Structure formats: structure tokens, C-alpha cells
Amino acid sequence: MREMEVLTVNGGRELFGSVRIPGAKNSVLPIMAAAVLCRGTVTITDAPVLSDVRACIRILNRIGCAVSLCGTNIRITPPANPGSSIPHELMRSMRSSLFFLAPMLARTGRAEICMPGGCRLGARPIDMHLDGLAHMGAEITEKQDGSWLLRAENGLKGTEIGLRFPSVGATETLLMAACTAHGTTVLHNAAQEPEVVDLARFLQSAGAQISGVGTPELCITGTDFLFGTQYAVCPDRITAATVMCAVAGCGGEVLLTNIRCGDVQSITQLLERAGCSFVPLGKDAAVIASHGRPRAPGSWKTGVHPDFPTDAAPLAAAALLRAEGESAVTDSVFENRFACADGFCRMGAQAQVSGRTLRLNGVPELCGAHVTAPDLRGGAALVLAALQAQGTSVIAGTEHINRGYENIAALFSRLGASVTAAEKQQEVSGMAE
């Protein structure tokens, strides 16, 4: 028998109350890796408490960093000579293990990695990371087992790089590599996501010389080293989107605090088209409300920031499963964003995937079912569907969900939902997985 955690949801309730949005997962993870560049202690505050953060700590320990986690504060002290290789099982635990490549290479002149893990959203190659580092002078050797050894004994050199796509991860890798390179690096077509801005602001607080932050043109003048600093992580706009889409789907009224309204504009505009109201209160709070069935907002596409974020696409789809009319969302970023559609259909939704597009035809009612989370945001989307469904749903695969949410059961229970997490015995099939 194998223990596995499942979520049990008794749906059909409206949501009321208030939620403080935690720090951003996709900001704290690259910042933790960037700490390896610093010759001094880095204190990160308002960090979310996630399994991916714990996985990052395991990698930091493995390369010799002293790390202490106290609530939402993480203190990282790199050694004088950090390690330069990450074991395959740690690399494969998440996509964010890739963020250690540039700091190890820049700090030690060497880095040994294999393909990272992460949500199965498509091919997710790392060519832009490797090509950019090669452009900065790294020598790259692909090894028999498919892993890579990168060397830059004399350090990396500043250069001009044009990204063929504004990749978030590749922008972050090259931004970190350039901070202590010899000379100036210009990144064209750089990603502008709030989490990329947050990493740049962290690096600046540690002494990096970066201009153009928040634009597609980043200019970085290398310095000899970065020093220790203290930095507060920006709010997680996708967690905010998760709560807002839950209210849109279930009905109710929720106060969101520690939210940056500018970061979620494309999401609130879509939800307002679906009949929700979103009222900002001051600079870091807002109220989201929805009464009755949502209206189908028609078709829309995801894109790079400031367009509608790919991570919120399954969440918004869940909010529209009972909307009056037809909706369709196309993800222009990943090939396989809507693996959660099967789970939606098991709950009685009319949801169909063709290529990168998910088409929905709203139904008056969903019914509880047994479903399995296919990935992080797809799993959260199934929770949102279960919150609307009449009856009981059981959601397996919560290890995906726990990578990006501190405690999704508590998050929604505090708003009046009935969600519990429990260990469940599972017959281990004789078949190899």
C-alpha cells in the first residue's frame, strides 16, 4: 500500500472573507538561486512556504550554502567556494533547479546539470539558456548521459543577446550570468513578467548594475561580485488569480490584501467581462465579487506579460465552466496547458481541447467526481471546479498543487468552502509506473 494525499471537496458554496496574498513562487525561486552570486548573507522575506522552496533549500545545501527557514524568512549564506554540480534527482524535482546554472557558472567557473523537471506543459527545452551562456563565452560539453558540463574558467564576458522568444527563465538565467561578467551585456526581447522585475530588483539591491528593468531591453554592466542583502518577495499574482477565479466560479465576495492590482490587470479585465466586479482599495488591496452565473466572455489568448498569463488560463477556464454561453482560450506559450480538461469533463463540464485551444460550453451545474491533478495550475483549476460542483469531489495528485500553494485546503476553507486534505491508502498496482 502507498500513502498519497488527496483533497476532498464538498462544493456548491459561495466564498466570503479575506485573503492575504503570499509572496510569489516564481519570484522567490530564482532569487534563492541568485543568492549564490552574493558574497554575504542574503535574507529573503515574505517568502511563500512551498515544496519547491524546500527543494531549492536542498539544492543550496548541496552546493555548500548555509540556509535557515523561519516562517516566511529565508537566510542564505553561500560558502567562499560553492559546489558546481547538482545531482540528477534534485535537478528533476522542478523546473526552477535550472536557475542554479548561471550562478554556479558565474561564481565558480563551472556548472554541471541535467534537464530540469517541472510541469509537463510541452517540450520545454533549455536551448535559449545554453545558447545565451555560450554567447557569453561558456564552453558547453554534452555528456553521454545527456547532462551538460559548462566551463568559464576566466569568467563570462558581456555581449549582446537577442532572445528569439521573451522566455522568462532564459531572461533570468542571462540576467544572473551578466551581473558579474566582464563588460556589459544587452538582452534584447527580454521577458517583462513581474517576477523577472523582482529578480532584477533583488540583484540591484545586492549591487548589480542593471538598467531597463521592466522593459524588453535589459543592460547589465558586470561588477566583480555581489554582496549580501535583504529583500521582500513580490506578491504572487497567480495565487491572486486563483482566488479571484474561485469567486468568479462560485459566487461571493472576497477582500484580497497584499495584491499588486497592476500585475493582475489582464485577469481582472477578463473576469469583469464575465460579470464580476473588481474594486481596488488603496495600492495593495481589492475586493472581487460575483453574483449568479458568470457570462461567457467569448474567446481570448494568453501571451507574455502584460498579456493574459498562461498560468492563469486553466484557472479562468474553471471559472467559466458554468458560464452562460461559449468561451475559448488559446495558450500561445505552452503546447499542453489544458490537461485538466479531462477532469472538468468528469465533473459534467463541456470542455474540449483542440491543439492549444480549450473550448467551453457552459453547463448549469457541475457534479462532484474523482479526478487527478495533471500539473500545478491544472490541479488548482480542478479544485476550483470542485468548489462549484454539487456533491463531493476527491482530487489526487496534490503533490503537484503543493508545489505552488502553501495550503490550498486552508486557503479556501477560510473562505467558507469545505476542503480537507487527507492521506489515503492506495493500492500500488503491480505495473511499473
Task: Provide the binding-site residues for ligand EPZ, judged by CB under 6 A.
Answer: 25-26, 29, 95-96, 119, 122-129, 165, 167-170, 193, 310-311, 333-334, 376-377, 404
Which uninterrupted H or E stretch holds 389?
none
**Of 146 and 292, CB closest to ligand EPZ:** 146
Detail the DSSP E strand segments found in 204-339.
Answer: 209-211, 218-221, 229-232, 252-257, 277-280, 285-290, 298-301, 326-330
Taking the least distance from each CB to ligand EPZ, the nearer of 193 and 406 is 193
Residue 236, all three cell numbers: 504572487
- Give the nearest distance from C-beta 347 to ligand EPZ in angstroms: 22
Q: How far is the CB of 167 from ligand EPZ (least distance, A)?
A: 3
Work out whether strand 298-301 and strand 326-330 pair parallel, antiparallel, or are unpaired: parallel
Nearer to ligand EPZ, 84 or 96 (CB): 96
User: What residues have CB less than 8 Å from 146, skipping those under 6 apart?
Assistant: 114, 115
DSSP codes of every residue in 3-14: EEEEEEEEE---
Handedness of CA 191, 193, 195, 198 (dihedral sign): positive
CA distance 186 to 166: 14
How many degrees, rounded to 5, is the angle at CA 342 between CA 402 and CA 406? 10
Catalytic one of 119, 234, 261, 340: 119
Nearer to ligand EPZ, 96 or 266 (CB): 96
Residue 219 C-alpha cell reads as 543592460
Any idea how long the chain is?
Answer: 433
Query: Quick check: is 250 catalytic?
Result: no
Query: Quick one: 243 or 296, whose CB is closer to ligand EPZ?
Result: 243
DSSP secondary structure string for all residues of 125-138: --HHHHHHHHHTT-
Q: What is the signed CA dihedral for 79, 85, 89, 92, rounded to 10 degrees?
A: 100
**Nine-digit cell string for 3:** 500513502
Rounded to the nearest whole angstrom, what is the least distance from the CB of residue 431 to ligand EPZ in the complex? Answer: 29
Q: In terms of CB distance, is 169 or 362 closer to ligand EPZ?
A: 169
For the CB of residue 99, give the shortest distance to ligand EPZ in the complex, in Å: 8
Beginning with the edge strand found earlier in the chain, give each strand of the sheet holding 2-11 in spatial order: 370-372, 391-396, 2-11, 418-426
Q: Which three cell numbers stand for residue 415?
A: 473562505
Residue 185 pairs with which residues in a beta bridge? 220
Which is nearer to ligand EPZ, 129 or 201 (by Cβ)? 129
Residue nearest to ligand EPZ (CB): 169
**Shortest distance in whole angstroms from residue 128 CB to ligand EPZ:** 3
Cis peptide preceding 78, ω within 30 of 0: no
The least CB distance from residue 44 to ligand EPZ, in Å, is 16
Active site residues: 119
